[in-house]
Structure 1
Amino acid sequence: MIITGDDPKYIAFFKARLLRYFLGIEVSYTSDGFYISQEKYIQDLLTRVALGDERTIETPMEINVRLRATDGDPLPDPTRYRHLGRSLVYLAVTRPDISYPVHILSQFMSAPTSVHYSHLLRVLRYVRGTISRRLFFPSSSSLQLQTYSDATWASDPSDRESLSDYCVFLGGSLIAWKTKKQIADSRSSVEAEL
């Protein structure tokens, strides 16, 4: 028996085997493409954190915040900060909007302070308010790659190093993004963006 691509048995067979949930990442399909999100992962994380209020915040981090290792009092037990920080790093897999603040806050994992922790809770409140955000990958997307990058110049107040970030689109779909400290010191903003 030969089964063709438009045969109802063929369609039912493959629909039953489509990826729906894997390692905390949810996948949903439409006729226009598919979505990936981590809504259940966020709900589980917020349940574990138990913030104690229902406030949400419009942005994950205040503009022009310059955090230093010496800001605030050291946390008596940094275990909770590290756990939440690692959870947010994993959440950034599907949430490019928190990539930058998570990068900044991850730098203080070894010795977090009360100020760093309050900023971490701000990111969690932002995520709670934007829990349904997801990435969309349209089936009609072109195969053209577009890359955008940006850099700061000596923006880290502790070591004066620059930050670089980039995002890569395949057609209209965001497929990769990253924020990181630059390895070399830049002497100008032009060098920082190279």
Structure 2
Amino acid sequence: MIITGDDSEYIAFVKARLRDQFLMTDLGPLRYFLGIEVSSTYDGFYISQEKYIQDLLARAALGDEHTVETPMELNVKLQLTDGDPLPDLTRYRHLVGSLVYLAVTRPDISYSVHILSQFVFAPTTVHYSHLLRVLRYLRGRITRRLFFPRSSSLQLQCYSDATWASDPSDRRSLSAYCVFLGGSLIAWKTKNRQRFLVRVLRLSCVLWLC
């Protein structure tokens, strides 16, 4: 259980009452939880998954030390028929699943992971090569973190964008959004959408902020 707040006396009271009812241990300030690292400073909080990335790269065993500047090449349009089917699907699925969890703190790979996750049921050699590119990108950007400042406004801002019927398999649009609370990025997502749903999303964001 994680207890948060700025009233230290009340937090101590809650902990004492919980210890009366349950067998529990006070582990102190939150620093590491389910692969997510939390660092507290005077200015705010940093959230990262550096150790998780290191473990992921070790499991991937890339076999080289190359890094790349972007998680995916510009204007790539992957399709189901690209390349030859992989003889073993387990490795691809395992790595993509790990990247899905990593995207909890790494919005910079959200788009790439969304694209690659569409092929987990029948990945090919081409899909796998693009998966390795994401891992090489992470190797060169392993220390990137999310920052949540202590002094920040509570103004909510939402940004969204979309392609136009860009998916070569079903001609759906690809939409993405991110939400900021003051200077803190609190939510983001990339997803295939029907065109009219993208318009609804944009209109909802505008109305919400008005």
TM tier, shorter chain?
A: 0.7 to 0.9
**1:151 and 1:192 in contact (8 A); partners too:** no
Cα distance in structure 2, aligned partners of 1:190 and 1:102: 24
Distance 1:185 1:18 in 2: 45
Rounded to whole Å, the distance in 2 between the matches of 1:87 and 1:163 is: 22
Q: 1:166 maps to what in 2?
A: 177
Aligned to 2:126: 115
Instruction: Report the counterpart of residue 100 of structure 1 in structure 2.
Output: 111
Q: Deviations over 1:126-175 (max 9, x none)?
A: 00100000000000011111000001110001111111110000101100
Q: TM-score, normalised by structure 2?
A: 0.81
Q: 1:158 to 1:193 in 2, by over 3 A?
A: farther
Q: Distance in 1 between matches of 2:154 and 2:28?
A: 26
| Partner Cα separation in structure 2 for residue 191 and residue 96 of structure 1 | 23
Aligned CA-pair RMSD: 2.2
CA distance in 1, matches of 2:68, 2:162: 26
- Is 2:157 the partner of 1:146? yes
Counterpart AA for 1:115: V
How do 1:19-168 residues align onto structure 2 when only pairs under 5 Å count?
19-168=30-179
Tell me the TM-score normalised to structure 1 length: 0.88
Question: After superposition, where does 1:168-187 map in structure 2 within 5 Å?
Answer: 168-182=179-193, 184-186=194-196
* Partners of 1:31 and 1:176 in 2: CA distance: 24
Q: Partners of 1:25 and 1:176 in 2: how far apart? A: 16
**Secondary structure in 2 aligned to 1:102?**
helix
CA contact (8 A) 2:44 2:148 kept: yes
Aligned residue type for 1:107: Q
- Structure-2 separation of matches of 1:149 and 1:132: 27
Structure whose residues are more often helix by fraction: 2
Aligned residues with identical type, % of pairs: 78
Q: Which amino acid aligns with 1:37?
A: S
Between the aligned partners of 1:49 and 1:126, the Cα distance in structure 2 is 13
Deviation at 1:193, TM superposition (A): 5.5
- Number of residue pairs aligned between Structure 1 and Structure 2: 181
Q: Which runs of 4+ in 1 moved over 4 A?
A: 189-194
CA distance in 2, matches of 1:78, 1:129: 26
Alpha-carbon distance change, 192 to 155 in structure 1, aligned in 2, over 3 angstroms:
farther
